[in-house]
Amino acid sequence: MSRTEAVTLPGAGTPQAQAAQERAAFSVPLPRARGLLASEMRLVFRRPRTYAMLAFLAAVPVLLGVALRYFTDGAGGGGDEGLEFVSQVTNNGLFLVFASLAATLPFFLPMTVGVVAGDAVAGEASAGTLRYLLVAPAGRIRLLLVKYAGLVAFCLAATFTVALSALAVGAVLFPMGDVPLLNGDSIPMTEALVRALLIAVAVAVSLLGIAAIGLFVSTLTSVPVAAMATTVGLVIVASILSAIPQFHALHPWLFTDQWMSYGDLLRDPIVTDGVVRNLELQAAYTLVFGAAAWARMADRDVTC
Amino acid sequence: MNASTAVRTPDRGASSAHAARAAHAAPSWDGEREPVVVTRGLSKAYGRDRLAVDGLDLVVPAGSVFGFLGPNGSGKTTTIRMLMGLISPTAGTATVLGGTMPKAAGAILPRVGALIEGPAHYGFMTGRENLARLDAADRTADPATRRERIEEALARVGLAAVGDRKARAYSLGMKQRLGIASALLRPRDLLVLDEPTNGLDPQGMREIRALIRTLAADGTTVFLSSHLLDEIEQVCTHAAVMARGRLVTQGTVDDLRSAARGRLVVETPDAGRAAVVLAELKAGSVATTATGVEAELGDVAPDVACAALVRADVRVRSFTTTGGSLEDAFVALTGEGFDVED
């Protein structure tokens, strides 16, 4: 890590003494914060549990693809947006990306995010490593920011695992070609791939709210399983609430409300209302629960 | 029962421990530098009325090896957590290296190495990776020298050969060493070691104690919490004793030890005469037994007592001193029936 930091600093190509001088002149917290950030990324992504969850997520498109390729009876019942994608998969493999994201977004993706988020601080507290990080000293707020950055990275990684796995499975099992959009027009494969990328990013962004909630819950306890269960439980509660029409007044404020808005990215021209509303919602949840986590972290007694 | 060895054994133990202290620590500690840790009325209440630490006034002189003693639950770890800024005091202040905790934690803690309530590591990471993460967490540590500093710290605690093994596979003693290594990643002004030899084999204990002496000789102040009184006696210049959340005493180890009264057991057929001689020497609670006489030595030196007995023609079969150790002082201070005063 130290080596990459040295390389990315300006003047690294110049003689060593000069480089060292510039490094000294550059002694703002930024390059060092990246030290902890890089360490956090390794912590998140080198953990066996993370592999297991990503492998599980990668298996969803495989199951879905195999089911659609070999066990479908042809008469797909449309209606829901997710199912709309499903009926298209047999015509074009790229739709498996959208179908898989639609299948994993309501529960599997937030579940894995809930596990990582719930563990973020509570796991360190329960292992006792939190006290050593704080005594290092990592700085409480810096640690919280780095933890959230790790969560954002995991949201992206989880979403792209599903998307890339679906892309590969789709390419193998189904024909690929021009993609018919939801309103009937077709766009070429390359543009469709760009749209798929946008959609994956939109799905990853959809997970940021629950990531912030999980991080906050994680600061409340030193029992990681409790934080994980609470976070995943909140996802379930939100989806139950959104399914009950009597709570319609509440619906626009649920972090799950605009989760399916990414379908709008498959229209021409792109309809951005829902996507923007989703961004706002996720930003609001991140700010509110980030601030709560901040307040909690700043004066928490670390007794384990 | 050999009289001469009985006399010499405790004496030799004390003098060698003293020599070790004199050789390693005496040149470096001085009372003129600003104390490294000062607490004023430091208190921590859990819940409404359970005071874990109650009005602690602690002074750790610069350059000392400071033993922090107390029975389980006496508030040692809570005190250490407050000194390290992990928990906030409910009353009073804690000043470490001139900065008030927990406010000054960011500025002060890079100069402090700590092992708090046992080591903690990421089991799926290797020893080296664990140290690298903690070093990355310290934003004032230079990443360019990280690798060398990690190697040096591992070598100091004898883990260089197993640094690439996963921490999960470490034995308790190896984990303890890795924890100490993380405290040694940088040159520190203060080392806080909470039971550093816990889980170590006797060999490892000796190594760690030697390491502590070396560090102290280099001028690092060491704050050593331990249950092992002989450990405190061997390596510490100063000590404080806690009981039930309060500070019972603090001072140099020599002062503490001399506060503990040694006990004298003399086997002799002339018990009556011996008792008179000892009483004349102002030894306390002199009592004759079936085999001889027993007394509290108090300020009486054992060699003086022995000479006096022989001069008075007391036939001495054996002459044994017990106690006068830190353990006696500790038990006297924290044992049952001791009333803690404000």
Domains and CATH numbers, chain B: 16-257 (3.40.50.300), 263-334 (3.30.70)
Half-sphere exposure of A99 (CA within 13 A, CB side): 28
CA distance A127 to chain B (A): 6
* Residue A145 in contact with partner chain B when CB distance is under 8 A: no
Residue among A40, A210, A197 nearest A109 (CA): A210
Q: What are the two backbone dihedrals, phi and then psi, of residue B225, each rounded to the nearest 5 degrees?
A: -95, 135
Distance CA B176, CA B157 (A): 9
For residue B135, what is the nearest residue in chain A, using CA coordinates?
A: A136
CA distance B252 to chain A (A): 28
pLDDT at A58 over 90: yes
**Pick from A23, A135, A142: CB nearest B116:** A135
Instruction: Confirm whether A215 is domain-assigned.
Output: yes
Residues of A in contact with B129 (CB under 8 A): 42
* Residue among B134, B146, B180, B191 with most chain A CBs within 10 A, to mutate: B134
Instruction: Confirm whether A8 is domain-assigned.
Output: no
Percent of chain A with pLDDT over 90: 47
Paired sense of beta strands B262-267 and B221-225, if any:
unpaired
Instruction: Confirm whether A255 is domain-assigned.
Output: yes
Contact: A35, B117; criterion CB under 8 Å:
no
**Pick from A35, A137, A299: CB nearest B105:** A137
Q: Using a cut of 0.95, tell me whether the model's pTM lies above it.
A: no
* Better-predicted residue by pLDDT, B51 or A129: A129
Confidence bin at B37 (pLDDT 50/70/90): very high
Residues of B in contact with A129 (CB under 8 A): 120-122
Contact: A127, B132; criterion CB under 8 Å:
no
Full domain range(s) for residue A114: 15-299
DSSP B334: H
Contact: A127, B120; criterion CB under 8 Å:
yes
Instruction: Confirm whether A85 is domain-assigned.
Output: yes
3-class DSSP state of B104: coil
- CA angle at residue B89 from B84 to B90, to 5 degrees? 170
Q: What is the ipTM of this complex?
A: 0.79
Contact: A5, B143; criterion CB under 8 Å:
yes
Instruction: Confirm whether A92 is domain-assigned.
Output: yes
pLDDT at B8 over 80: no
**Pick from B85, B87, B134: CB nearest A303:** B87
Average pLDDT across chain B, whole number: 81
Contact: B146, A2; criterion CB under 8 Å:
yes
Instruction: Confirm whether A4 is domain-assigned.
Output: no
Contact: B88, A299; criterion CB under 8 Å:
yes
**Pick from B109, B120, B139: CB nearest A29:** B139
| Residue A81: predicted pLDDT | 52
**Pick from A2, A36, A131: CB nearest B147:** A2
* Residue A22 in contact with partner chain B when CB distance is under 8 A: no
DSSP B123: T
Contact: B110, A142; criterion CB under 8 Å:
no
* Residue among B50, B78, B117, B139 with most chain A CBs within 10 A, to mutate: B139
Residues of A in contact with B126 (CB under 8 A): none
**Cβ neighbours for A73, distance < 8 A, ≥ 6 positions apart:** none
Instruction: Confirm whether A98 is domain-assigned.
Output: yes
3-class DSSP state of A1: coil
pLDDT digit string, tens, across residues B61-111: 998 999 998 887 788 889 999 999 999 999 999 999 989 988 888 899 999
* Better-predicted residue by pLDDT, A260 or B261: A260
| Residue B125: predicted pLDDT | 92
Distance CA A246, CA A251 (A): 10
Tally of structural domains, chain A: 1
| Residue B261: predicted pLDDT | 60
Instruction: Confirm whether A285 is domain-assigned.
Output: yes
